[in-house]
Amino acid sequence: MVRVHVLACVAGVAALACGNDETTVNASATAGGAGGAGGAPVTASTRFAFGSCMRQDLPKPVLDLAVASAPDLFIFLGDNIYGDTDDMAVLQAKYDQQAASPEFQRLHDAMPIIATWDDHDYGRNDAGSEYPFKAESKEIFLDFWEEPASSERRTRDGVYTSYLFEEEGGTVQVILLDTRWFRDPLDANTGAGKNDYQPTSDTTRTMLGDEQWTWLEAELGVAADVRIIGTSIQFGHEYNGWESWTNMPHERQHLVDVVRAAGAEGTIFVSGDVHWGELSRYEPDAGYPLYDLTSSGITETWPTIEPNENRVGMPVPENNYGFVEIHWSDGTIVLGIVDANGTERIRHEIPAGELR
């Protein structure tokens, strides 16, 4: 395990790309974090912000709102640019345009950042393992986020990774999945479903691939009080015909099974992709409920919000960012969505003991 203090990693464009799995940091001591820098007291809570779906050619006021909230970390969950090209020079130019964005630069100056990708920064809309330029796209992605040359992300397939944050009150593990590199084709909607896709009955199809599944099982065995699993596509919602884990029901169940088999308590999901914000509460047949907090998009919206029987409260159609706040004194976890006006539209408190 590589142990790195975040302050050693914030000088570059991307603030937290500091080594191999697991990278261990003290989030409260980071510049811009709630605990302050330079030996300021450790706070009694940890706050991680996140978002997705961010065009490089549009204003991003949501990022300034996230900075003002002083989280300890920001997680980008994919569609961090809209590349959508087989031309790697075009893809690089779009990353360069994103890097030049004033709001993006202010976020980078304020806090550490980690990231995974989704289809539009991967290279093609809804693409999976078949995308022919994924290796070239991966190098551009890792260079943009200033992943160290020694990182295991540089030497293995995909961009999945994990981080371990040690706080005075407990430990948070953040796992970022790659739902693109290994993903088998989805079943197009032939009339049995809705929108673009329908759930497959082919249980040989994979979302994560054998290599990533094996890695994930090992990661879930790492000791942590709270686990945040970042998936670029939604996990806990009701099937709606767009890209999500619901299109491979056997793979969604497998993810539930590996979380349960590991005894991984305190696990929540964060996701993006759909261009609206919402909180889903998915209740498998056994074990505690699995919350999936979706924040999308930083610049993008969608004309129609799909029904979701797992939804808690109301959806957020406006641009937004999400947050996960852990209160160590009583074990409460707060999940929230903040809209482009700075209004907290979703706030759900999970009491200690519910995720056990």
What is the band of 100 on the pLDDT scale with cuts at 50, 70, 90? very high
User: Which token pair is 167?
Assistant: 């706080």
CA angle 323, 329, 332 (to 5 degrees): 45
Q: What is the pLDDT at residue 44?
A: 87
Helix axes 61-68, 102-110, angle to 10 degrees: 20
Q: What is the pLDDT at residue 13?
A: 32
CA angle 341, 342, 343 (to 5 degrees): 90
State the pTM of this model. 0.91
Rounded to the nearest angstrom, the gap between the alpha carbon of residue 193 and the centroid of all alpha carbons in its chain is 27
Q: What is the pLDDT at residue 43?
A: 56
Q: Kindly list the distances between the CA atom of residue 60 and the CA atoms of 81, 95, 145, 278, 321, in Å, as whole numbers in the listed order.
A: 12, 15, 18, 20, 11
CA angle 350, 355, 356 (to 5 degrees): 145
Classify domain 2-350 at the CATH topology level. Purple Acid Phosphatase; chain A, domain 2 (3.60.21)
Say how far apart CA 334 and CA 217 lie, in whole Å. 26
Q: What is the pLDDT at residue 312?
A: 98
User: Which token pair is 348?
Assistant: 């759900």
pLDDT digits (tens, 9 = 90+) for 169-183: 999 999 999 999 999
